[in-house]
Each structure stands twice: as structure tokens, then as C-alpha cells.
Amino acid sequence: MDCHSPGQGLMPASFKVRTVPLDGDDSAAEEVLDPDFGEAAIGRVAPVDSGLWWIILLRAYGKCSGDLSVQERIDVQTGIKMILRLCLADGFDMFPTLLVTDGSCMIDRCMGIHGHPLEIQALFYSALLCAREMLAPEDGSADLIRAVNNRLVALSFHIREYYWIDMRKLNEIYRYKTEEYSYDAVNKFNIYPDQISPWLVEWMPNKGGYLIGNLQPAHMDFRFFSLGNLWSVVSSLATADQSHAILDLIEAKWADLVADMPFKICYPALEGQEWPIITGSDPKNT
């Protein structure tokens, strides 16, 4: 876009089928696929989750069908490595989580999830596990497997420790000291207790908890995002105790999370002035 191209390893979010006439024969035509890597998307956002889902589904296909020939193909192995290199590339980010822009995942509308949304981290963890299992053992993949192993340890600790919220953690946040400059600071993200929304204190059940939607410096998004939490249970990113607590919370708050819909993507909905500021007043985000 505007003479700029993103890193190799992107998986398109969608394809368009286009019919083109064959050379030298106007009566015959062939169908070609036009992939969209974000150049045609609304808002021009490159998809982050499609590459992660591709790795997860590739392993699922192999496990279900017993046909491992697809994942062993050289072009498919190359695809796995390109996605991993793109996700594991070093940058300015201090955290083991994946930094992504708003609208780059299943929640493809502006909803204030720029940063490190839980959904992407759960898929990232799952994709790393699947890729490690499927990568062919060869000289070129040894460094990549080492990087995957290191990232899995850091990522799982980070999510389980800092994204988790329950009554005990809420009380901890209320007692946080701020502006701690040191290596052993307790409040590593400089979270101010005033950030805790009044709805959360009333909503949180005594038994149960969940993984918050986003975490970055001086910002905790306390909204409940269902895909991120459920996929954390499925992929064992959440510990056994945390998985039980997430399901306990869903049971306790069934009326809020399920209600008239099969399962709400996000709770609570944005209201008032917060809605136009965060969603850019896009009416599709209601």
C-alpha cells in the first residue's frame, strides 16, 4: 500500500475469484484467486490471526485424517517457517505477547483492542505448540524450534500471571503502588487502581475468574472476551485451576454472557461517549 509492503509470511484473510480470458483465445477463460493481505480490507488492516489459524488447522487435519503428507510438503514447511519468523521477529516490544493493531483478528472492527489482545495471544500459543510438533527435524529448523520453546515458556507465564483476574487479584490491584522504577517492581505495568471499573467490582463472582482482554503499560482492558478465554481453556494456555474458574464464571454470569445470543463475543458492551471514541463511530460496531 502506497509503495509499502508488509513482512513475508502473512496469510490472506480472504480470496476473491476473478475470471480472466486466456491468451489468444477470447472464448475461453480461467478462474484465478485474488488474495487479500489487507490491501483491500476495510481500514487496510493486515490479518494477524489467519496465519495462526492456518497452522492450528493444518495440525488438526493431520490428527483427524492421519494424512501427514500435506504438512511434510516443502512448500507447506516453508509456509510454517515464514509465519513463525514473522511472529517471532525481534522488535521494540518488551513483552512475549504479540503486538497487533486494532481490527486485525476475528474482532475485525475497531473495538479498542490495539496492543496485546487476549484472543491473539491464545491463538499464538496454540500455533507455536502445533508448529513445534509439525516442523521437520532438519538443520535449518533447530534455531526456530529453540526460539519457539523459549517463547512458549515466557508467553504462558506472562498470560497466566498478568492477564488473570479474580477477587483475590482485584484486591491486589487496589493495593498497588505506582511509579515503581526497579527490576523487582510488583506493579510492573504501572496500573493505577482508579482504572478498575465500577461494573467489574459488582460483576465479579466470589468463585471464578477470567483472563482480561488486553494488557499494556498503564492499561488493563477488563472486558470479558469469550474467544480468547475459551481458546485458552482448549489449548491449556490457562492452568487447570484457571480453566475451571473461567467455566465457573460463565456459569455464574450465564444471563449476562449468553442471554438471547448463543454466546457474546465481548462483555460488557461500550456505551455512551466511550462508544464513539473507541469505535470511531463506525455504525457496524454497534
Residue 260: per-residue pLDDT: 79
Domain shared by 7 and 111, yes or no? no
Torsion sign over Cα 117, 118, 123, 126: positive
- Cβ burial, residue 64 (10 Å; 0-12/13-18/19+): exposed
CA dihedral of residues 13, 16, 2, 89 (deg, nearest 10): 30
Residue 169: per-residue pLDDT: 93
Domain shared by 95 and 203, yes or no? yes
Instruction: Look up the domain containing 193 and give its range.
Output: 48-285
Domain shared by 217 and 271, yes or no? yes
190 with 179: CB under 8 angstroms? yes
Q: Residues 86-122: pLDDT tens digits? A: 999 998 989 999 999 888 888 777 888 899 999 999 9
Direct distance between the N- and C-terminal alpha carbons of the chain, in angstroms, rounded to an integer: 29
Distance CA 200, CA 196 (A): 7
What's the predicted TM-score (pTM) here?
Answer: 0.93
Residue 109: per-residue pLDDT: 77
- How many folded domains does the chain comprise? 2
Residue 279: per-residue pLDDT: 84
Residue 121: per-residue pLDDT: 97
Domain shared by 126 and 29, yes or no? no
Domain shared by 8 and 140, yes or no? no
Residue 103: per-residue pLDDT: 86
Domain shared by 97 and 17, yes or no? no
**pLDDT below 50 — which residues of the chain?**
none
Domain shared by 56 and 99, yes or no? yes
Domain shared by 250 and 151, yes or no? yes
**DSSP code of 30?**
E
Distance CA 188, CA 74 (A): 43
Domain shared by 247 and 173, yes or no? yes
Domain shared by 159 and 96, yes or no? yes
> Using N-to-C axis directions, what is the helix angle for 142-158 and 74-88, rounded to 10°?
50
Domain shared by 8 and 121, yes or no? no
Domain shared by 227 and 265, yes or no? yes
